[in-house]
Amino acid sequence: MANLSKTTRDHEQIRRWAEERGGKPSHVKSTGSGEDIGILRIDFPGYGSQGSLEPISWEEWFEKFDEKNLALLYEEETAAGQRSNFNKIVSAETAEENEERAGRSRKGGKSSSRSRSGQRGGSSSAKKSARSGGSSKSAAKSASKKTASRGSSKKTGGATKKAGTSAKKSASTASRRSGASKTAGRAGQAKKRSTAKKSSGKHR
């Protein structure tokens, strides 16, 4: 819950706040003696002071207020947003301590809020990094597969080319051998014919 209390020692601010709510400067009758007016109060109509308070002037009220080094702790509105008459007259030292505590509380609230948003931002960044890392790994795997596929294709193509070249060489060699065989056969037949002719000539 937010701290709605404020403190002030400013005369005009205190008077404005009190008069807006119908409050009047007063003191507790049973306190003080002689020139000392005793305990200061702000009397609001309808709050049943039951005759324990006695009205005094603002000049008397502020004279005692400054003499005792006092401060007014008050609220402008309640937590529900309604006009508040809450007030308490305290020492200036107590008012300063309350202000310091309120300041620390505000700073602590801001720090915890920043810390939470930082943690959320950090977890979000971590998730994004993890996703980015996962997609990078997937891309790397895909690139690796493509490279391997290209390498195997090149190897297969190279082997096919070599096989084709070898087949051509084998066919060329066989063709040459076949041609040589035919030539040798023809030469043999020619020799046989020549020998036969020579033999028939001799018999004649």
Domain housing 55: 5-112
For the stretch 136-164, pLDDT in tens is 555 555 555 554 445 444 444 444 445 44
Whether 159 maps to a domain, the answer reads no
Which amino acid does the sequence have at 107?
A: K
> Could you tell me if residue 186 is inside a domain?
no
Cα dist from 16 to 12, 19, 28, 126, 148, whole Å: 6, 5, 22, 55, 86
Domain membership of residue 182 (yes or no) is no
Higher-confidence residue of 58 and 134: namely: 58
How many domains in the chain? 1
Contact of 19 with 43, CB cutoff 8 Å: no
Q: Is residue 171 part of a domain?
A: no
The pTM assigned to this predicted structure is 0.52
Q: Is residue 167 part of a domain?
A: no
Residue 95 in any domain: the answer is yes
Six-digit token pair at 202?
A: 């001799």
